[in-house]
Amino acid sequence: MSLSACAITVSLGRKQVLHAVDLTARPGQITAIVGPNGSGKSTLLRALCADVPYGGQITINGQDVRGLKPWKLASLRAVLPQSSTLAFPFQVIEIVRLGLQSGTNAEQDEIAHAALARVGLAGYEYRFFQELSGGEQQRAQLARAICQVWHPLQDGSPRWLLLDEPVSSLDIAHQLQVMEIARGFAARGGGVVTVMHDLNLTARYADALALMKNGTLVAHGSLCDVLTDENLSNAYECSLQARRTPADGGWFLLPQVSKNSR
């Protein structure tokens, strides 16, 4: 059981944005996609969601997503896009309910409220989405996504959360809260693939990394394999050092600032 992308190519307009990308994500893990701005992270995530035309093959738990009915795909994976806009004034609870299967029975209502509580938005149910702060909107959208895959296992098979920069608008406490939600989902058997911007937060939470540059995957594997000074400095074109804390062996990244620039 895994989420696999094999030789994925994507062209947008006249530009080839992804070049034969191979990626495998395992259930029980957080797989983070990192890389500089414009390297193709969001495009890869959109391909994994079957949200953009792609060449190559994507399988979820061994099933080619091209052969799956939309309702089946929706039951297997939920998506948090990098940004979303709404044309109409929806209440927060209406947004969250979009993640639920049809019907409004009591159990589903309970899930919608519990999802909002999990992202720290209990009591926000009847506020208008447009009147929330950017960070609150991001967490409301995450509540919608986690509603959709509330139980990380379905008939013994993993479900998948696909997140594009889920903590980009959040303060540090809410960043940790969201990463803990992702970790909890994985710990209960689901799989998480998330685009991340903050390398230090990524190094704290990810189990596996995919490092992108110019539409290709330049490194993919465990933190030990990917977080080398050479990989990071080449990808980001600045001097970065990956080190481990003496306290718990956790990874952290240090930029090297030249003395001349002070």
> Least distance from C-beta 67 to Mg ion, angstroms?
28
> Pairing between strand 63-64 and 30-34?
unpaired
Task: Kindly state the tokens that stand for 193.
Answer: 């693939």
- Cβ atoms of 140 and 119 within 8 Å: the answer is yes
Shortest Cβ 169–ligand ADP spacing (Å): 15
Q: Is 43 exposed, middle or buried (0-12, 13-18, 19+ CB in 10 A)?
A: buried
> Residue 3 belongs to what H/E stretch?
strand 3-12
C-beta of 136 vs 164, nearer to Mg ion: 164
Binding mask 30-69 for Mg ion (x = CB under 5 A): ------------x---------------------------
Binding region for ligand ADP (CB under 6 A) out of 10-18, 66-74, 135-143, 176-184: 10-18
Cβ proximity of 154 and 122 under 8 Å: no
Q: Are 207 and 30 in contact (CB under 8 A)?
A: yes
Count the neighbouring beta carbons within 10 Å of the beta carbon of residue 205.
21
Q: Residue 221 corresponds to which tokens in the numbers above?
A: 């594997």
Q: Closest separation between CB of residue 212 and Mg ion, Å?
A: 10
Compute and round to an integer the Cα radius of gyration of the chain.
Answer: 19
User: Would you say 61 or 82 has its CB closer to Mg ion?
Assistant: 82
Residues 69-88, mask of contacts with Mg ion (x by CB under 5 A): -------------x------
Of the pair 174, 197, the CB lying nearest ligand ADP is at 197
What residues numbered 18-77 form the site for ligand ADP, per CB under 6 A?
A: 35, 37-43
Where do contacts with ligand ADP occur on this chain (CB under 6 A)? 12-13, 15, 17, 35, 37-43
